[in-house]
Amino acid sequence: MSAPAIYPKNKEEIVVRYAGNPILTAKDVPAAANGVYNSGCIKTGKSSYVMLCRVESPAMKQFLWPADSTDGIKFKLRPEPIKMPDTPEFREYTTGMFYDPRVTKIDGKYYVVFACHSGHSCRLGLMESADMKEFNWVDFISQTDNRNGVLFPEKINGYYCRLDRPNTSDGRAYMWISYSPDLVHWGRSKALAVAQDEWGWKKNGPGAVPIKTDKGWLVIYHAVNVQCAAQYVYHLGVMMLDLKDPSKIIARAKAPILSPKTDYELNGLSYAVVFTAGAVVEDNGEVKIYYGGADRVQCLATAKLEDLIDACYNR
Ligand code: BMA
């Protein structure tokens, strides 16, 4: 019996896992660690990449720990994680839990948006850096119960622009978009991508920094469904946002571009998670997608930029 006409024909994977995955594990951390995953990454020069790793300590605190590379594949963690401020306000709103950093370069400066956890739940924090060596804390930039913030790499219509993922009262969470004149005060928020498809109805949120293309802003995002026994399964998807008005989705792939399949994506500190916080577009059109496997290890996959764009329309 032949498959119904509506069944998609494409069989090939457009996202290829790096054969040497995972590229970083707890053993690569110069201290005791439970895992290293969900790291942000940016290319800072012709052959220099800086990854901001999410490192979990044995006490389950989360640190942002820089790592360097000359090829975007082999990374070496620096001796120490980034030091955070030690002020009463900071201690009130964080309990040593900093994670899922996204690094965006805007007008020559690097900005890192990351989750800061405390008894008040999760807020987004912002750091800036001139060189990805020294990092300066800027401020909390969201109210509570919001995580996975990512900045666009340029102002749009005169405003900084951000995607993030606030929680909803029924335990779902979807991607929103907001604007800011100064990166600290945010408003004009709109729900961007709400419940969708079988593989993203529970949650979806931003992943890597949006990539500017001729067709629009290419967004590699995470989307979550729930399998048996309330098990969250995290996939990666792609969508295209309007260049001038990124609150408009102009195309979105109907199927994930990456779903948990290998042992390092299925078994970790969580189960069945692929989660990206960074991607690098190389001059030859290769996109390096950095992603965490099962909340334990750092992985890499590659895709052609043109295939990711095409997937938004045809997959
Ligand atoms: C999300 C984030 C990620 C994590 C994922 C799966 O909500 O908090 O840090 O990888 O859950 O546990």
82 Cα: distance to centroid of ligand 1 (angstroms): 21
Structural domain boundaries of the chain?
Answer: 16-182+192-314
Q: How confident is the model at residue 8 (pLDDT cuts 50, 70, 90)?
A: confident
Q: What is the mean pLDDT of residues 1-16?
A: 75
Mean per-residue pLDDT for 72-80?
Answer: 98
The count of residues in the chain is 315
Split at pLDDT 50, 70, 90, the class of 194 is confident
Any idea which residue has 């189960």 for tokens?
A: 271
* 119 has a pLDDT exceeding 80: yes
Give the distance (Å) from ligand 1 centre to CA of residue 197: 20
Task: Please tell me if the CB atom of residue 114 comes closer than 6 angstroms to any atom of ligand 1.
Answer: no
Tell me the pLDDT tens digit for each residue of 244-272.
Answer: 999 999 999 999 999 999 999 999 999 99
Q: What is the pLDDT of residue 116?
A: 95
pLDDT score of 9: 73
Mean pLDDT of 296-310: 98
Alpha-carbon Rg for the chain in angstroms = 18
Q: How far away, in angstroms, is 277 Cα from ligand 1 center?
A: 11
| Residue 5 confidence class, pLDDT cut points 50, 70, 90 | low
The backbone region for 215, taken as left when phi is positive above 0, alpha when psi lies in -120 to 50, beta otherwise, is alpha
Q: State in Å: Cα 243 to ligand 1 middle.
A: 28
CATH number for the segment(s) 16-182+192-314:
2.115.10.20
Three-class SS state of 145: coil
**Token representation of residue 146:** 């919001």
Higher pLDDT, 90 or 310: 310
Give, rounded to a whole angstrom, the gap between the first and last alpha carbons of the chain.
Answer: 23
Confidence of residue 273 (pLDDT cuts 50, 70, 90): very high
Kindly state the percentage of the chain with pLDDT values over 90. Answer: 85
Q: In this model, does residue 3 exceed pLDDT 70?
A: no
Task: Please say whether the beta carbons of 112 and 138 come within 8 A.
Answer: no
Could you tell me the CA-to-CA distances from 88 to 75, 94, 190 in Å, in that order? 35, 10, 33
Q: Which of 25-29, 52-56, 92-96 has the lowest mean pLDDT?
A: 92-96
Q: Tens digit of pLDDT for each residue in 48-72?
A: 999 999 999 999 999 999 999 999 9
Query: Residue 83: how many CB atoms within 10 A of its CB?
Result: 10
**295 CB near ligand 1 (under 6 Å):** yes
Residue-level pLDDT at 230: 64
The CA distance from 298 to 38, in Å, is 7
User: Does the CB atom of residue 290 touch ligand 1 within 6 A?
Assistant: no
In this model, does residue 1 exceed pLDDT 60? no
pLDDT at 244: 97
- Judging by beta carbons within 10 Å of its beta carbon (0-12, 13-18, 19+), is residue 195 exposed, middle or buried? exposed
pLDDT exceeds cutoff 90 at 197:
no
Distance CA 284, CA 271 (A): 34
pLDDT of the residue at 171: 84
Give percent of the chain above pLDDT 70.
Answer: 98
> Which residue minimizes the CA distance to atom 9 of ligand 1?
100
Q: Are 309 and 243 in contact (CB under 8 A)?
A: no
pLDDT value of position 4: 58
According to DSSP, the β-strands at 211-212 and 203-206 are unpaired
